[in-house]
Amino acid sequence: MIRTLVVDDDFRVAGIHAARVARVDGFECVGQVYSGAAAREAIARLNPDLLLLDVHLPDEDGISMLRSLQAAGTDVDCIVITAAQDLATVKSAMTSGAVYYMVKPFSFDRLRTQLEAYRNWRQELDSASTADQATIDSLYNARSAGVRPAAPAPRLQPTMQKALDAVRAAGGPVSAAEIAGQLGVSRPTAQRYLSVLEQKGLLVLDLTYGGTGRPLNSYTAS
């Protein structure tokens, strides 16, 4: 199993990533932490194989932390997972040793594809017996095998886009009733929009149980 540590300043997002990692064959999430200091302690204690690392941490820049880990000879790989899309940050991540860079938000399928590529790369690296040019080329290609440039996101119906924007702006779990109130539509209509967005991988569905024992649907941005 590939031992994976999730590092993100938002505990809700960290929980989503941790749950998704656990769904991919060959991976286990050994912990989730929310700061650079906690990440360093967890790396020393848990000895993970892979970090899913956010850039913006409350006490330390994630890329700087990755660079210092590499300089110290810490044996851990890293996939950077962040909303930062500026080329300077991407370049810094690549030159600091990140094996891949993923921009939030992304679907579970997109994360699974990249984790599977990473898993296959590790397997190929472990089984290689020579370091000739063909083997080296294969190893470099394997890290992103199966990953293709993302197709342009389909345009959403205007009210559905407003529903997605409202969930993202909430910063935490919201219900269909809350979204209905914001959009001025009925709760069933809001629920329909949210269900479609969840099916598209743009939202994550959380089930909680109220005092009656009935499940309550709430949604967060993926």
pLDDT in tens, the chain (222 residues): 999 999 999 998 899 899 999 999 999 999 999 999 999 999 999 999 999 999 999 999 999 999 999 999 999 999 999 988 899 999 999 999 999 999 887 888 889 999 999 998 888 888 877 777 877 777 777 666 555 555 555 678 888 899 999 998 887 789 999 999 999 999 999 999 998 888 887 888 876 655 555 667 888 887
Same domain, 134 and 189: no
Same domain, 102 and 14: yes
Q: 78 lies in which domain range?
A: 2-142
What is the β-pairing status of strands 50-53 and 2-7?
A: parallel
Q: What is the pLDDT of residue 179?
A: 93
14 domain-assigned: yes
Same domain, 93 and 201: no
114 touches 100 (CB < 8 A):
yes
What is the β-pairing status of strands 215-221 and 203-209?
A: antiparallel
CA distances from 89 to 31, 49, 101, 166, 185 (A): 25, 23, 10, 28, 41
Same domain, 167 and 123: no
Same domain, 117 and 15: yes
Same domain, 81 and 183: no
**Distance between CA 69 and CA 53 in Å, rounded?**
12
Same domain, 10 and 51: yes
> Which residues, listed in sequence order, are joined to residue 102 by a DSSP beta bridge?
81
